[in-house]
Amino acid sequence: MTTPYRHEPFTDFSLKENQEAFKKALKTVNKEWLGKEYPLIINGERITTDAKIVSYNPAKKDEVIGSVSKATKELAEKAIEAAATAFETWRYTKAEERANILFRAAASIRRKKHEFSALLVKEAGKPWKEADADTAEAIDFLEYYARQMIELANGKPINSREGEYNQYIYTPTGVTVSIPPWNFLFAIMAGITVAPLVSGNTVVLKPASATPIIAALFVDVLEEAGVPKGVINFVPGSGSEVGDTLVDHPKTSIITFTGSREVGTRIFERAAVVQPGQQHLKQVIAEMGGKDTIIVDKDGDVELAAQSIFTSAFGFAGQKCSAGSRAVVHADVYDAVVERVVEITEEQITGNPESHSTYMGPVIDAASYEKIMGYIEIGKEEGRLVSGGTGDDSKGFFIQPTIFADVDAEAKIMQEEIFGPVLAFSKVASFDEALQVANNTEYGLTGAVITNNRAHIERAKQEFHVGNLYFNRNCTGAIVGYHPFGGFKMSGTDSKAGGPDYLTLHMNAKTVSETY
């Protein structure tokens, strides 16, 4: 019997002993974990290539976190073949056996929890709290999906009748290509790897090129926990070259992707093409971008609104699909809310995330830096700059949290995903207008409403079209098993990671009817 699921607690960094423990972990990672090389893994075999993907610290751009070998098209094909062969045995293993591997892997991560989080600080520039939450979420995915698989092992109840015994069971689908983003470099990477695995599929994991080291370490954890050779294959490589090969391969059955709208729609389209020799339709799970809104109603609590907007916009420098990059505020409280958000923002420190006092670290790389700074220039034309607006990429990719007020609802910075620390305020005259503005993008991922009006809460439940809707809090920070996560419209296939229906997306439901 397993214990009931409970999410992994966050570390309380206000306690001195936790601060000391985390500093020690950072020291260990700095001294012992950095600068290593990791091979590809295909059918359990370690393969080293001359070409490498090097992972750098975005806060100290010359510091190397580590490097991974880089797969070619041929190696990517070899990985799919290995996964296809391994599927023929792995698919028949017992659900409980597969779940136990995930429990062991979770225990193993827990033993080095701060070290893993410290690596996230280094590899993605996450402040302590964000890194700690990312590791906790990775553990949560393992614990949650393992339990869900045990529950699904006997299928779901259907009716039988006299002389006829009927069953509704789930069977594994096949080779899964897992393609994670860099922003939740541990949690999403782990989640989209173990969900197919525990459901009896074999996996080819292509990590994000900015953050391959945590992925290499995670694959080691899975192997140590008992994942057999060929069941997990690790093939870092260029998204366009290796990515297309993996997606197009006729033996690929599932593609589980989290990332941008641009790449997600490309994968969706390519996966629809039936290749020569392919005997099935591919299943695509694509979780994509967001342009998420916080509405503040006229009777909303100003302090709560300001804190919620600030946290949603600037947590992990706005590099979350759920980041609240648009605040739509009723005219009655607009000035007060803008003023308070600016105040809170300007009290915070942007800098090296290795320091406990840092609220916001760098953005991920040079390309992101340039893109975000470009949006800030656009913002200067489209709105009134009330805070930030500058960047410094001399040592790392640092951008001040930036706030624009009085932005038109149709403006570029109100419509396009910036994926950086840029917040736009729009003023509205009514709750109707607020809902209309909130729904006016092509995305539908998260949203929040700050209000004390019960009728408005009920209306928003029906009329605010997002996959994750929150009241009187921030629009980020979904927790596995508590806030199943995924979006509508161009935010993706609404697969609801960390939710009760997630694993069934990785399996074929089979009806079995036996006549006595």
Q: Is 263 in the site for ligand NAD (CB under 6 A)?
A: yes
Site residues for ligand NAD, 278-307, by CB under 6 A, read 287-290
Smaller CB separation from ligand NAD, 66 or 487? 487
C-beta separation of 319 from 419 below 8 A: yes
Instruction: Select the residue interacting with ligand NAD from 266, 427, 489, 496 (CB under 6 A).
Output: 266
Query: In the bound complex, what is the minimum distance in angstroms from residue 302's beta carbon to ligand NAD?
Result: 29
Q: Which residues contact 465 (CB under 8 A, 6 or more apart)?
A: 439, 444, 488, 489
Stretch that binds ligand NAD, among 217-225, 242-250, 379-387, 406-414 (CB under 6 A): 242-250
Could you give the CA distance from residue 121 to residue 361 in angstroms, rounded to a whole number?
Answer: 9
Is 183 a residue that touches ligand NAD (CB under 6 A)?
Answer: yes
- Residue from the set 125, 127, 174, 181 that interacts with ligand NAD by CB under 6 A: 181
SS3 for 27?
A: helix
List C-alpha distances in Å: 408 to 115, 213, 333, 424, 509: 45, 41, 18, 9, 48
Q: Least distance in Å: CB of 316 to ligand NAD?
A: 11
146, 99 in Cβ contact below 8 A? yes
Residue (of 180, 328, 334) closest to 258 by Cα position: 180
CB of 74 to ligand NAD, least distance (A): 17
| 15 within 8 A of 32, measured Cβ to Cβ | no
Decide: is 259 part of the binding site for ligand NAD (CB under 6 A): yes
- Among 90, 184, 186, 316, the residue binding ligand NAD under the rule CB under 6 A is 184
CB of 287 vs ligand NAD, minimal distance in Å? 4
A 10 A CB-CB count for 168 gives 15
Select 258 or 451, whichever has its Cβ closest to ligand NAD.
258
- Residue 44 engages ligand NAD in binding (rule: CB under 6 A): no
Answer yes or no whether residue 240 interacts with ligand NAD by CB under 6 A. Answer: yes
Tell me, what DSSP letter sits at residue 30?
Answer: I
Footprint (CB under 6 A) of ligand NAD, residues 205-224: 206, 208-209
Question: Which of positions 117-136 make contact with ligand NAD (CB under 6 A)?
Answer: none
Q: Specify the length of the chain in residues.
A: 516
Q: Which residues are catalytic?
A: 287, 321
Residue environment code for 274-292, b if the CB has 16+ CB neighbours within 10 A, otherwise e = eeeeeeeebbbbbbbbbbb
Kindly report the backbone phi and psi dihedral angles of residue 219, in degrees, each rounded to the nearest multiple of 5, phi listed first: -65, -40
- What is the pattern of x (binds ligand NAD, CB under 6 A) and - over residues 405-444? ------------x-x-------------------------
Work out whether 265 is an interface residue with ligand NAD (CB under 6 A): no
Q: Could you say whether residue 325 binds ligand NAD (CB under 6 A)? A: no
Which residue, 319 or 451, has its beta carbon nearer to ligand NAD?
319
Q: Does 312 bind ligand NAD (CB under 6 A)?
A: no
Binding status of residue 464 toward ligand NAD by CB under 6 A: no
Give, in degrees to the nearest 5, the angle at Cα 264 between 258 and 269.
140
Q: Using CB under 6 A, which of 85, 260, 439, 508 touches ligand NAD?
A: 260
If we measure between CA atoms, which residue out of 301, 294, 354 comes closest to residue 125? Answer: 354
Subset of 481-510 contacting ligand NAD (CB under 6 A): 485, 487, 491-492
Indicate the SS3 state at residue 169. strand
193 binds ligand NAD (CB under 6 A): no
CA distance 21 to 64: 24
Stretch that binds ligand NAD, among 88-96, 180-188, 299-307, 426-434 (CB under 6 A): 180-188
Distances (CA, A) of 469 to 37, 43, 324, 417, 422: 42, 42, 12, 18, 21
Q: Which residue, 138 or 338, has its beta carbon nearer to ligand NAD?
A: 138
Question: By C-beta, is 98 or 291 nearer to ligand NAD?
Answer: 291
Per CB under 6 A, does 191 bind ligand NAD? no
The answer to whether residue 58 forms part of the interface with ligand NAD (CB under 6 A) is: no
**Residue with Cβ nearer ligand NAD (140 or 417):** 417
Asked whether position 318 contacts ligand NAD by CB under 6 A, the answer is no
Is residue 511 classed as helix, strand or coil in its secondary structure? Answer: strand
Could you give the count of Cα atoms lying within 13 Å of 235 in the half-sphere of its Cβ? Answer: 34
Q: Is 311 in the site for ligand NAD (CB under 6 A)?
A: no
SS (HEC) of 49-69? CCCEEEEEECCEEEEEEEEEE
The smaller minimum CB distance to ligand NAD, of residues 332 and 393, is found at 393
Report how far residue 361's alpha carbon sits from residue 317's, in angstroms, rounded to the nearest whole number: 7
Q: Between 203 and 288, whose beta carbon lies closer to ligand NAD?
A: 288
Q: Give the nearest distance from C-beta 257 to ligand NAD in angstroms.
A: 6
For 216-264, give the DSSP string.
Answer: HHHHHHHHHHTPPBTTEEE----IIIIIHHHHH-TTEEEEEEES-HHHH
* Per-residue tokens: 242: 């290796």
Interface with ligand NAD by CB under 6 A: which residues?
179-184, 188, 206, 208-209, 239-240, 243-244, 247, 258-260, 263, 266-267, 287-290, 321, 417, 419, 445, 485, 487, 491-492
